[in-house]
Amino acid sequence: MSHSRREFIKRTAAISAASYIGMNLPLGKMGVVEAADADSWHRGTCRLCGVGCRLELGVKNGNPVALRGVAESRTNFGYVCMKGMKFWKFMQHKDRLTMPLYRARKTDKFQEISWDKALDIAADKFSESVLKHGNDSVGYYGSGQSLTEETYLFQKVFRGGLQTNNVEGNPRLCMASAVGGYLTSFGADEPIGGYSDIEQCHCFFIIGSNMAEAHPVVFRRVMRRKLDNPNIKIINVDPRISQTSRIADLHIQFNPGTDLSLLNAMAHVIIEEKLYDEDFIKNYTTFRKGDKVQVDFEEYRKFVADYTPEKAARTMGGKTTADDIRKTARWFATSKGTMSMWTMGINQRKQGVWANNLIHNLHILTGQLLKPGADSLSLTGQPNACGGVREGGGLCHILPGHRLVVKEKLRNQVEEAWGIPKGRIPPKPGYHTMAMFTAINEGKLKALWVNCTSPVQSLPNCNLYNKGMAREDVFIVCTDIFPTLTTEIANLVLPTAFHFEKTGVYGCTERRSQLTVKAVEAPGQAKPEVWIIREWAMKLAEKLNDPVIAKCVEPFMGKEEDYELPKAIWDEYTQKLTKGRDNDLRGATYEVLEEMADGVQWPAPTESFAKTGGSVKKFVKGIDPMATSESQNDLPYQFYGPAHPDRTLWIWLRPQADPEEIPDAEYPFYLSTGRIIDHWHTMSMTGRVPELMRANPYAFVEVNPGDARKLGIKPGDMVEVKSRRGVNILPAKVYEGPIEGMVFVYWHDQHPDRMINKVTKDAYDPGSKEPEFKICACRIKRLSGPKPLRPFLV
């Protein structure tokens, strides 16, 4: 896919227009209100994906009127995508939830009630469930969109108060395999480097990610690097040709699920041609297989010797050649700095952790880590999946500060910080996401609090789990800003304040914590979640006659909810529970975060260090204050990850393995799903913005032209997409995108005919417990010619 500078600019013009609107300039017809039309501008972080774009909300007469990028930000340089530019329109939308709503039965109509009554009902139902069915009959299902303060306080009340580890969240569905990969390869979660490596990178290895649409502002930085330096290389590895592929020097297309062969074949070439970094391996690396069994370099060499480029190309199918694999390996290994970037195409797999390990293997083998322009960078899907959930303790097996539930010493540290009795936190992890909703189906979990997410639409094989959530003997509370498909099966719906209507911290992809301070009032009686949790916990303590529950929120009593309350929660979390941990955030106080244009990258143990911006690279002496040689050696890189007591990086022997479900005679196509640039997640927010709906009003199925010819499918025809679990009916986009034998559907559409998670499969990675959304078997057929379609939301 080589091209001249002129061709490159031409190919990327459309993407550029869509991807980086929003500089601090009047855009008139583009929909941004000019600066003169706002009385004041209030700095914060974007509410949508995990990039962490810094922006400002324009306010006039107390009302939101515009958003603009922050030009001095080194994250987004003033640019925002169309979604980010428009999310202020959610804030005063007519559909906002403004009063608590309750119904005793799910077939009844909702009635407006007071906050006092709503919290009484929630406390009654959860306490009743605990008394009748035990502590593990209740659970919390949260979100990577919740503020860190919210996730932290929810899990504190459930663990320390209700004594259950049934604390989960939707990051299990998107980032758990990345966590597993970082922990098992590097010994610590989250990336070593960050976005600043982009401007120093010489080879981009983009695999399983359509950055142009899922992370457009980061993609803009990659494009700019290529435009300014045409000789750098971009490799895109994806079964589908996407907008991201258009800028690639080399695109590797393959049958879904076969890319483990590619990654092992690249390692084969690197070793065969002696492109590995012998000193780096000698000083910093050990080799592992199976259940952490240590082996040596020679055994690893023999293992990858079976993955010749020729054999891998046959396994992968498509037009991939052995020469393409060799070229990819050489570019990766020999560049001055190589960055890998990936998202759900790697993570949402039954072998998601293995796929992450194999990417990290390549970086460790070649020493493409810890130096400028080199990093193994998982791109996060949600704005606070890292900061709130991975760091703040928002999954069933982890406690705040990257602590494991199963470690008694670590549980005791948390109990001491909270001032509660030792042994209060149960030693057994709770239900992971798929187990949690299975427990609902089986009648084991009786009361569930769902915060800021819509599992009715976002779970794989959702029809199966929606039956359980609709049961009358399951009490469901939803805290949200809009009605969703999940509020439709709830008993109690509590209206929450939205972004810029409350104060709190997001932690983005690159270990960066950023503060957004309240700028406008929430509509009606909508309240910030931290107030809701605190008041509910006090009622729970009374009904269960348990002073320890009250103890969990005691430090936060009497704090006003706009700033003092979230600040007190943040202070407790950072000062008590990140101290001495790999994500030490003690220096990132609210006061420091308010000063910083871009926030702070951890570790940042002191305020003075946090004011420099924090650690741009982990593990590097002189850059990371925790990278010391006190107990090891005097090498420049010091690995202190809690999961690797030997303080080395681990290269893993991971074989090619098939997805859970592959095409056969009955279901001959692969199905994969993903995002489109104009919408985000379940479109409960973006579906209410007219400009975004005009751009993409509904989902469609992408069909390769070769497959379309065989099946008589033309553009716009209505097509049935059916699996062993469910069926969709969607208009066809005949497009040289998916490889032949594969179809692709965007997952945002809420319409019952076009909700693709009715079709996806709920198999999951045995280590990370992340579902295999990205691969299942289906069949397709033409039903009719084009038909007029109405969008589900406007």
Using one digit for the tens of pLDDT, what is the confidence trace for 407-438?
999 999 999 999 999 999 999 999 999 999 99
Q: What is the pLDDT of residue 630?
A: 59
Q: What is the pLDDT of residue 670?
A: 98
Q: What's the rounded mean pLDDT across residues 13-18? A: 41
What are the pLDDT digits (tens) for 149-161?
Answer: 999 999 999 999 9
Band (792; pLDDT cuts 50, 70, 90): confident
Q: Which DSSP letter does residue 662 get? A: -
Cα torsion through 552, 553, 556, 562, rounded to 10: 130
pLDDT at 21 over 60: no
User: Inter-axis angle of helices 322-334 and 309-316, to 10 degrees?
Assistant: 120
Band (793; pLDDT cuts 50, 70, 90): confident
d(Cα 104, Cα 599) in Å, to the nearest integer?
Answer: 44
Instruction: Report residue 480: phi and psi, to 5°.
Output: -160, 175
Structural tokens at position 514: 């950023």
Identity of the amino acid at 150:
E
Structural tokens at position 25: 């300039």
How many percent of the chain have pLDDT more than 70? Answer: 95
Cβ–Cβ < 8 Å for 265, 315: no
Q: What is the pLDDT of residue 14?
A: 40
Local structure of 57: helix, strand or coil: strand
Chain position carrying tokens 């080589």: 2
Q: What's the rounded mean pLDDT across residues 458-474? A: 98
d(Cα 190, Cα 264) in Å, to the nearest integer?
Answer: 23
Band (794; pLDDT cuts 50, 70, 90): low
Are β-strands 285-289 and 649-653 bridged in parallel, bridged antiparallel, or unpaired?
parallel
Q: What is the pLDDT of residue 619?
A: 97
Band (667; pLDDT cuts 50, 70, 90): very high
Q: Which DSSP letter does residue 687 get? A: G
Count of CB atoms within 10 A of residue 273's CB?
A: 13
pLDDT at 196 over 60: yes
Q: What's the rounded mean pLDDT across residues 19-45? A: 56
Q: What is the pLDDT of residue 76?
A: 97
pLDDT at 540 over 50: yes
pLDDT at 33 over 90: no
Residue 753: exposure state from Cβ atoms within 10 A (0-12, 13-18, ≥19): middle
Q: What is the pLDDT of residue 18?
A: 41
Instruction: Report residue 585: phi and psi, to 5°.
Output: -120, 20
Nearest partner of 426 among 460, 396, 393, judged by Cα: 396
Phi/psi-derived region of residue 700, left when phi > 0, alpha when psi is between -120 and 50, beta in every other case: beta
The full set of domains in the chain, from first to last, is 1-28+659-794 (2.40.40.20), 101-174+384-562 (3.40.50.740), 176-378 (3.40.228.10)
pLDDT at 548 over 70: yes
pLDDT at 304 over 50: yes
What are the pLDDT digits (tens) for 363-396?
Answer: 999 999 999 999 999 999 999 999 999 999 999 9
Q: What's the rounded mean pLDDT across residues 73-78? A: 96
Count of CB atoms within 10 A of residue 297's CB?
A: 17
What are the pLDDT digits (tens) for 112-168?
Answer: 999 999 999 999 999 999 999 999 999 999 999 999 999 999 999 999 999 999 999
Local structure of 597: helix, strand or coil: coil
